Amino acid sequence: MAQNIKRPNGTEDVLPKDIHKWYTVEKIARETAESFGFSEIRIPTFENTDLFLRSVGETTDVVQKEMYTVKAKETEFTLRPEGTAGTIRAMLQNGLLNEALPQRVFYILSCFRHERPQAGRLREFHQFGLEMAGSQSPAADAEVISLAKTILDRLEIKNIELYINSIGCPTCRAKYHEALRAYFEARKGELCETCQDRLAKNPMRILDCKSPICQDIGKDAPLILDYLCEDCSDHFEKLKKYLTNLGIEYKVNPKIVRGLDYYTKTVFEFVTTEIGAQGTVCGGGRYDGLVEQLGGQHTPALGFGMGIERLLLVMDKQNCAYLSPRKCDLYLATMGDAALEKAMELAKQLREYGLYAEYDLMGRGIKAQMKYANKIGASFTIVLGDNELNEKKAMIKDMEKGEETEILLDDKFVGNFEAVYFNKMMDVLDEPQIMGASNNPVEVK
C-alpha cells in the first residue's frame, strides 16, 4: 500500500482560498516601500555558510542551533535564516554601494530556521524586509521605523506597540560587556550550557536566551543605556525626538538586544500580545559595521524584517480587511460542440484583454454549468447554443442582480461586454474605472 507523504514539520501550504491574504500584505508592503524610495531586490535562497558565521554571529541561537546547512562536495551552503546578510552581500558584490547613497532596497523572501514549530514560529517562514545603506543619521532610523509603522497602519492592524533601545557601538559596548560578565559570573553555574559559553564570547546574548532560568537571572542585569558613549547617547536622543515629531508613539525597552550580532546603536521591535509568545511582528535596527565585516568599506546601514505569517495571524484575529480574491468576469455556458468552439474563441478574446473568462471543461449539463458559475462567483454568464450562434447574439446575465441584457456575438464582443461590465461598476464604485489588462476592480471584504 502506498504511504501518504505529508509536508515537512514546521512548514505550511498556502492554498488558493488564502492567497489573497498574502497578496494584500505583499501589495501594501511593496507599494509603501516604493513610496519611501525603496526598490525590490531578489537574492539566492542559499549562501556560503561563512556569510552567516561572519554576520549573524557564532554565539547566536541562529548559528548554533537553527541553521540548515548542506555540504556539496567541498563547498558548504546554508539556507538563509534571515534576509539582511545576503542582501548586504548582494549590494556589496554588485557595486550598489558605489552608487548614489543612501541605497534603499526591499525584498519578500522565505527564510529557514530549525526551531520548535508553534503558532507564529515555523521552520520555513516568509519575510518582508528592507535595508538602507549609506546614512549614519538618526533621521534614517526614524525614516525606517516610520515606514514600518506606515505598513502596519495601512494593513489596519491595531494594538501594536513600538519598543526601541540602543545597544551602543563597539567602544561603549566593550565596557558594558565587562559589567555583564561581572554580573553573570556570580551565578555562572545556574546558566544554561549555551549561556555559560556566551559569558566569555558575547555576554549580551544571555539577555536574549529563551531559557526561563537565564531570563530570571538576567532580569536585574546592568542596562546598556547606562553605558552609552556620548555619540551613541546623542544618536538615541535625536531618534526619540524625531519619532515624537512624526507622531509615532514608542516605549524605551533597555532589554531589547535583538537576536543577531551585527546590530549596533538603534534596535526596535513592533510587538503585539494578541498571538501569544511570538508577538514580535517586526524587528530591526542599525548595523553600521556589517558592510565592513563582509569586506567592504565602512558604510552605515539599517533595516528591518516583518514576519508575514505573524502579520496574517494578527490580521485574522482582528478581522482586518483583505483584498478580495479575483473572481470570474464571464462564464460561458455551452450546449453542444459548436457552442463550445465559440466559447473558446470568445474566452480567448476576453483573456487577451486581461479579463477572467471560463467555459465548461467537464462535459456538464447546462444546469450544472450554471451551478458551477455561481460557485466560482462569476459576475456574468452567457448561455451559448445553436439559436445564439445562428442569431449571433445572446443574453448576458448579471449574476448578482439577475438582470439580463442582449449582447452581440460579433467582432466587437469584448467592447460590448466591457460596456455591460462598466455599467455594473458604475453602481458599485464612486468613480468609474476603465477596464484593462491590469485592472480587475478589487473589493474589500
Task: Name the residue with higher pLDDT: 83 or 75.
Answer: 83
Above pLDDT 90, what percent of the chain? Answer: 74
Crossing angle of helices 19-35 and 138-154, in 10° steps, is: 150
Q: CATH assignment of 330-428?
A: 3.40.50.800
pTM for this model (two decimals) = 0.88
CA 365 – CA 301 distance, rounded (Å): 63
Tell me which of 11-25, 53-67, 168-182, 271-285 is least confident: 53-67
Please give the pLDDT value at position 425.
Answer: 62
Tell me which of 145-154, 240-249, 276-285, 422-431 is least confident: 422-431
Please give the pLDDT value at position 1.
Answer: 67
Q: For the chain, what is the largest distance between any 2 Cα atoms, rounded to a whole number of angstroms?
A: 94
Above pLDDT 70, what percent of the chain? Answer: 93
The pLDDT-based confidence of 403 (bands split at 50, 70, 90) is: very high
Question: In sequence order, what E strands does 96-142 have?
Answer: 103-112, 124-133
Answer yes or no: is pLDDT of 250 > 60.
yes
CA 124 – CA 146 distance, rounded (Å): 28
Interacting residues of 69 by C-beta distance below 8 A, sequence separation 6+: 49, 76, 77, 78, 79
Domains of the chain: which residue ranges? 19-169+229-317, 330-428
Taking residue 90's Cβ as centre, other Cβ atoms within 10 Å add up to 18
Answer yes or no: is pLDDT of 435 > 70.
no
Please give the pLDDT value at position 438.
Answer: 33
Fold agreement (19-169+229-317, 330-428): no
Q: What is the mean pLDDT of residues 198-220?
A: 87
Please give the pLDDT value at position 210.
Answer: 79
CATH of the domain spanning 19-169+229-317, picked from 3.40.980.10, 3.40.228.10, 3.30.930.10, 3.20.20.70? 3.30.930.10
Crossing angle of helices 19-35 and 308-317, in 10° steps, is: 110
**Which residue has 546601514 as its cell numbers?**
301
CA 158 – CA 144 distance, rounded (Å): 20
CA 47 – CA 43 distance, rounded (Å): 9
